[in-house]
Structure formats: structure tokens, C-alpha cells
Amino acid sequence: ASASDEKDLVIIGGGVAGYVAAIKAGQEGLKVTCIEKRGTLGGTCLNVGCIPSKSLLNNSHLYHQILHDTKNRGIEVGDVKLNLTNFMKAKDSAVNGLTKGVEFLFKKNGVEYIKGAGSFVNENDIKVALNDGGETTIRGRNILIATGSEATPFPGLEVDEKRVITSTGAIALEKIPETMLVIGGGIIGLEMASVWSRLGSKVTVVEFLGQIGGPGMDTEIAKATQKLLKKQGMEFKLNTKVISGDKTGDKVKLEVDAAKGGKAESLETDVVLVAIGRRPYTQGLGLENIGMELDERGRVIIDSEYRTKIPHIRCVGDVTFGPMLAHKAEEEAVAVVEYIKKGFGHVNYGAIPSVMYTYPEVAWVGQSEQDLQKQKMPYRVGTFPFSANSRAKTNLDTDGMVKMLADPETDRLLGVHIIGPNAGEMIAEGTLALEYGASTEDIARTCHAHPTLAEAFKEAAMATSSKAIHF
């Protein structure tokens, strides 16, 4: 590429991190190119992650509710059948609509989109192996690495996405397995376990640690979640590590070992979901050509302005530090373009919410009790159960609670942990409060509409700063 064709910004990867940065750069008047090899935009999240999984979660919940939660509401339904082909089509239509939507936004914001795999030739030139054949080279004054992540494989158990699956296979199974064993009780494991268990599979979750939910979930909330998921029919083996697997026979066989207090045994299942985490993806990126090093977990090393050691090459999203979440990637994408264009940007890593879209949903932001204990920080706890919330009662949907943690001296909010109906929407209120440095009294004195689930949020704040009214 010649210097005259030089772009202000070349982005490698069209996932949430890459596409949001591209749109923002277009809006800021930068000459921007985004290179994506998948054939569609939106990355893991839109194609095989957040979006398809939420379609399956929503519709499997509806199905399960029609089967098991209508009689008590005075609704009598006839013969209920699942059409798995159409169930999957509904998911595909959400995915297609959204990925095409991003393509439209590229056009609207003047982003050049190149379909192909990009790799570094040198610090400014990116060679692209085009999906349609052939090759081109793009030169960038600034370059953004946004190549995302991939499922961590389980050693010795080759993924075929039919019997040994990752989340990508789990959103596309063609029949409902009789039994499913999930390795890893983190968010992917529990969301996918929920989908297939609701559709009729007998699901067992094997988790190495003593609690489910993956990193960051408050222990009290994790225990409550496990209890509710168990009631729905899921089985759990905690403190248990899968050590090896064998898929040569009719069934997949797994050897599990006791971690702390667990039991060593052999398990058999029709389908195994490997959900032991995700790892940064930099394959084929040619980082060796620019002498770029990775940390011990394969992450691209950056400073607080997302610069790698080559300052005009920056990096955001799953491929670098921090939680692997779409909204974290999105925040970083906006900030990195602001750094390039204006020299300053902003992401508050202390106020990034997490949501697990099981039923009920689990959501949290800020610190957990365990985080505070580790730092020997004093805290005050206030909780409010949904069983005491009028809207939850009218909805016959009373499982769960809101829990708040605050500084005992200043009353400043330190963390919010919710399990319950609509927790994923309600956590936005906690995030906003945390971002603005609210005290729990500030929240308690804010009028909330009646009757809403959000009143449980207000009453938990009341319970933290003084006393709740309805409990």
C-alpha cells in the first residue's frame, strides 16, 4: 500500500470491539477500514455468543413456562410441541437481522469493510487474504487489534460440535440429547445447561470449584442460584474436576476426580459441553513479524490507553485484559477511538455489570462480599427478597433477592448483587448509582414507581442505610 492510501485507522476484527470502534471512528471523521474474516460482522457476540444464546434462552423459557407454569395462573393449554428446526430459525433470524444491521451502520458512517483475514507485514501494513480469493495490503497510521477470543479446548477431548461441543455447537444442536454433561459451571455452562434442560435433556454440571457462576459471583447469590437451578432439574457436581475424556464408544466417557470433597468416578453421557473458559485469539495475525509479545495467558499487553509497545498499534476487547464481556469491549472501543482522536478517553472498570441470563437472572456490579473480605474492607449488607415485593407477588414470580454492600462509614455503595426476575435490566440502576458514587441513602430516597420489581432495589437500599418498609 502506498502512503497516499494510508488510513487513519485500520481495525483487525469486526466483533463488538472492532465494529464499535469502526463506527465511532467514522463518526469522528477518521478514514477507517475494518477487516473481518468471518463473512459477517458482529464477531462472537452477534454470530455465536450473546445474541443466539439469548434467543434460545428466551424461547426455551417460554416453552418451559407453558409446560409447567400455566395451570396455577388459570390458563389451560392444549398439546404443546417443540419444533426444534423453527426454534433454531427464530434464533438465526435475530442473528441475521443484527449482523446485517451492523453492515448498514458501516455504510452510514463511511466505514470501509473488507472481508478477509488480516496479518501484520510490518508495523503499518496489513496484508489481507480476501475471502473471495486474492490478496490486498492496507496501510494504517493507527492499527487496532480486536481479534477476540475462542473457546478453551479440553485436552484430549477433540471438539466435533456434535457430541463434544463448545457453545458454538450448543446453540445449533439438531436434536435434543437425552443426557448432557457440562464441564465448567461458569456463565456459558449454566446458560446452555438451562436451554437444553428446559427442552428436555438431563443435564449434569461438573464444576472444579466449590461454587457455580464463574469468577465474580457473590457466594450467597451463587448458592441461591444453584438451589433454584437444581429445582428446575439440573444436577451439580461441585469440587469435581474432569480429568480426561474418551469419545470412541456410543457414549462419551469422562473420568472425574475429587478436588476438595468431590468424588472420583466415571461418567457417561450423550453430549459433552466444554465450557471451561475462553482464551485470546491471535492465530495467523503475524504478531511475530512486529515482535509483539503476549502475556502468559496469551493476551496482547497494553497500557492504560490501550497502546501496545508499538504506540500506534492499540488493542481492545477479549484479546486483551479484563472481563470477556461484549459491553466491556464496546466501552473500550469508544474510548480507544477517543484516545486516538482527542488524546483522552474513559472506562470505569469498577462499574462493569455482569449478567447471567438463566431463570431467574443473576446480575451484579461492583464488589462482592468475598472481594471486600479479601481486601479486609469493612462493609454493611442490606437485602430485600422478591417474596416481599408486590409486583413479584402479582407475577407469581417471587424467587430471589437484591443485596447491597456499602461502606459502613460513608454509606457509599460498593456492590449490588441480584438474583431474580429482570435482574439483568435492574442492574443498570446499580451501575448508574455506582458510576455516580451514590450512597445507599441516595437510592433509598429516590422515588420508584409502584408496583414494580425495581422497588425491591430501593428497599434493599433502605435496608442497607436504615430499614426496609415491607420486610
Q: Which residues are known to be catalytic? A: 450
Q: Hey, which residues between 277 and 296 contact ligand NAD (CB under 6 A)?
A: 277-278
Q: Hey, which residues between 319 and 338 contact ligand NAD (CB under 6 A)?
A: 323-325
Minimal CB distance residue for ligand NAD = 186
Q: Does 237 bind ligand NAD (CB under 6 A)?
A: no
Q: Does 186 bind ligand NAD (CB under 6 A)?
A: yes
Three-state DSSP at 195 gives helix
Q: Hey, which residues between 423 and 442 contact ligand FAD (CB under 6 A)?
A: none
Residue 391, CB half-sphere, CA atoms under 13 Å: how many?
A: 13
Return the amino acid letter for 105: L
Q: Does 189 bind ligand NAD (CB under 6 A)?
A: yes
Q: Which helix (H) or strand (E) holds 179?
A: strand 179-183
The option from ligand NAD, ligand FAD, none interacting with 15 (CB < 5 to 8 A, set by class) reads: ligand FAD
Q: Which of 41, 217, 276, 362 binds ligand NAD (CB under 6 A)?
A: 276
Q: Does 18 bind ligand NAD (CB under 6 A)?
A: no
Q: Hey, which residues between 27 and 66 contact ligand FAD (CB under 6 A)?
A: 35-38, 43-45, 49-50, 53
Residue labelled with grid coordinates 471486600: 372
Give me 15's grid cell. Answer: 466483533
Closest CA to 14 of 130, 125, 118: 118
The option from ligand NAD, ligand FAD, none interacting with 193 (CB < 5 to 8 A, set by class) reads: none
Closest CA to 351 of 321, 382, 328, 373: 328
Per CB under 6 A, the segment of 134-142, 200-208, 244-252, 442-450 that binds ligand NAD is 200-208
Burial call 434-444: b when 16+ CB within 10 Å, e when fewer? beeebbbbbbb
Nearer to ligand FAD, 426 or 460 (CB): 426
Nearer to ligand FAD, 329 or 418 (CB): 329
The pattern of x and - marking residues 268 through 307 that bind ligand FAD according to CB under 6 A reads -------------x--xx----------------------
Per CB under 6 A, the segment of 111-119, 135-143, 254-262, 265-273 that binds ligand FAD is 111-119
Return the amino acid letter for 383: T
**How many other CB atoms sit within 10 Å of the CB of residue 87?**
16
| Rounded CA separation 371/338 (Å) | 32
* Backbone φ and ψ of 384, nearest 5°: -145, 125
Closest CA to 306 of 329, 279, 278, 280: 329
Burial call 332-349: b when 16+ CB within 10 Å, e when fewer? bbbbbbbbbbeeebebee
Residue labelled with grid coordinates 439469548: 54
The pattern of x and - marking residues 322 through 361 that bind ligand FAD according to CB under 6 A reads --xxxx-x--------------------------------
Alpha helices in 274-422 (DSSP H): 326-342, 369-374, 390-394
Residue labelled with grid coordinates 461441585: 238
The option from ligand FAD, ligand NAD, none interacting with 185 (CB < 5 to 8 A, set by class) reads: ligand NAD
Closest CA to 400 of 423, 379, 381: 423
**Site size with ligand FAD, rule: CB under 6 A:** 36
Per CB under 6 A, the segment of 25-33, 71-79, 204-212, 399-407 that binds ligand NAD is 204-212
Sites of contact with ligand NAD (CB under 6 A): 183-189, 191, 206-209, 214-215, 241-242, 275-278, 323-325, 355-357
Sites of contact with ligand FAD (CB under 6 A): 12-18, 35-38, 43-45, 49-50, 53, 117-119, 146-149, 167, 188, 281, 284-285, 317-318, 324-327, 329
